[in-house]
Structure 1
Amino acid sequence: MLSGVAKRYTSLFLKSIFIISLFIFIIQTFLVYHDHIIGSWYIFKVSSTGLQASLTMTSKIVAIGAILIWFFQVTQVKDIAAAMQNAGWNKKLIFVMLSTMQLIPQMTSMMNTIADAQRSRGVETEGNLITRMKSFVPMLGPVVLTSIEQNEERVLTLESRAFSNRQRPTLMVPVNKTKADYLLSWIIIIIMLGIFYWGVFK
């Protein structure tokens, strides 16, 4: 809410992490059980062990997923790349990480473009589940071929910009850290060390 992305964040969270967590919670609750049965419905049984295992697993998924969704809602990819370069990371490692971050948005945009092209040719891409599945399978081929073609273009673009050069590149996006950034970094390091100490020695 303080970041100003509450509406967009909530919508994305409910469409992704919440659905996955709810599905895993239901499956774990009814499939993992032992002697301590606390409830039953037809052939399904709920035990305290299964309920505890479900809460543990889904809480971890929600915690990690919620943080990642919020992080990418308030941070642009170019700022992440600039911060990594400013910290002296290997540019090949930066490229691999950024490519992974951009993979899903690029595939989604590509799927939408191909779906629009198929609709313009009279192919039904909307309707019930069966109709969508029938239209989804023919789109896989163009998506894979387009991805391969884009990778080749990306390699040529990187080489034209002297990606393989060993010299340090010039930062086009400046990253200016304030005292609050350094203070927050030290606070996070101290907290992580405390969690590590507590988990190992307690």
Structure 2
Amino acid sequence: MINQTNIIKRLYPTTKVWLVIAITLCSVFFSGYLFQYGVFVIGLILAILGQVTGKYLSLFFKSIFLVALFIFIIQTLFVYHDHIILSWGIIHVSNTGLQMSYTMTSKIVAIGAILIWFFQVTEVKDIAAAMQNAGWNKKLTFVILSTMQLIPQMSALTATIADAQKSRGVETEGNLLTRIKSFVPMLGPVVLTSIEQNEERVLTLESRAFSSKVRPTLMLPIKKTGMDKILSWVIIIAFLISFYLGVFK
């Protein structure tokens, strides 16, 4: 349910979606890379306001930062470009390579940072309620929400099975080779348990009249406030002005 004590978490989900869409489109179409890298700082400020700073930084540096760093290194050092600055064996550093690396990684950083912030300050059940309020087809809503929850559910399931395997004497910690060996025995239980959970989920949905054409009653009613409407229009207008100045000027 929407947090009533925090100004960011209290916002209606679609208000935050407008902000995510605006920043994503600006990151894709704006030239250069300063704005795109700056989105990380914007996300950090919003994360501080939303009281999720630790989670925001942890997820960013464990995922987006590593991907961007890997792409930057490969694109800069190992992909051949014109205007070579430094060359040593298979390593080539050029102005073109640096510019392309900045452009590619900045967009990844911008989009990844704002998405991480959004999912840290917006609960899945609030997203579901907003979709139902908007009149979305409940089957489509279920598919989207299931996709959002897939990775956390699989991570939790894998951790549970790893603990069970460890209690049976299977080595799950150590060097890379040991981890690879322990991963293979877990594949079977993970797949079979996932299939079993899908069957249980289907039975649960049918027991709750999921196939019924009657509009369901929301257990977590959420409503847009006047602040949400004002902020939505401010974001849209600011985006249109920024997009025009950044792309057509």
1:160 and 1:195 map into 2 onto residues whose CA distance is 49
Instruction: Tell me, yes or no, if structure 1 residue 91 matches structure 2 residue 138.
Output: yes
Structure 1, unpaired ranges of 5+:
none
Residue from 157, 177, 183 that aligns with 2:204: 157
Contact (CA 8 Å) 2:78, 2:90: kept in 1 or not?
Answer: no
Q: 1:55 to 1:200 in 2, by over 3 A?
A: closer
* Deviation of the 1:26 alpha carbon: 0.5
Secondary structure of the equivalent of 2:100? Answer: helix
Offset of 1:170 from its aligned partner?
0.4
Please, which of 45, 53, 56 is the counterpart of residue 9 of structure 1?
56
For residues 9-31 of structure 1, the C-alpha deviation after alignment (integer angstroms, 9 at most, x for no partner) is: 11121111111111111011123
Pick closer, same or farther for the CA change 1:194–1:148 going to 2, 3 Å: farther
**Residue 85 of structure 2: which of 22, 38, 41 is its match?**
38
**Alpha-carbon distance in 1 for matches of 2:146, 2:241:** 33
CA distance in 2, matches of 1:34, 1:8: 38
Give how far 1:32 is off. Answer: 2.8
User: Match for 1:25 among 60, 64, 72?
Assistant: 72
Is residue 2:111 matched to residue 1:67?
no
Q: Does 1:50 align with 2:93?
A: no
Whole-Å separation in 2 of the counterparts to 1:19 and 1:172:
40
SS at match of 2:210: coil
Identity of aligned residues (%): 77
Query: Who is 2:175 aligned against?
Result: 128
Q: Deviation of residue 171 (structure 1)?
A: 0.7
CA distance in 1, matches of 2:202, 2:242: 42
Say which of 191, 195, 213 aligns to 1:148.
195
Aligned counterparts of 2:67 and 2:81: Cα–Cα separation in 1: 24
Q: TM-score w.r.t. structure 2 length?
A: 0.76
Distance change in 2, residues 1:195/1:151 (3 Å): farther
Instruction: Calculate the TM-score normalised by the size of structure 1.
Output: 0.93
Q: RMSD of aligned C-alpha atoms?
A: 1.7
- 8 Å CA contact 2:83, 2:94 repeated in 1: yes
Provide, for residues 39-76 of structure 1, a one-character-per-residue CA deviation record: whole Å limited to 9, x for no partner.
23343011111111111111111111111111111111
How much does 1:192 deviate? Answer: 4.1
Partner SS, residue 16 of structure 1: helix
Alignment of 1:146-185 (within 5 A): 146-185=193-232
- 1:188 and 2:235 correspond: yes
Q: 1:33 touches 1:49 (CA, 8 Å); kept in 2?
A: no
Residue 152 of structure 1: CA displacement? 1.0
| Structure with higher RCO (Cα < 8 A, 6+ apart) | 2
- Cα distance change, pair 49–33 in 1 and its aligned pair in 2 (3 A): farther
2:119 is equivalent to residue 79 of structure 1:
no
Q: Does 1:103 align with 2:150?
A: yes
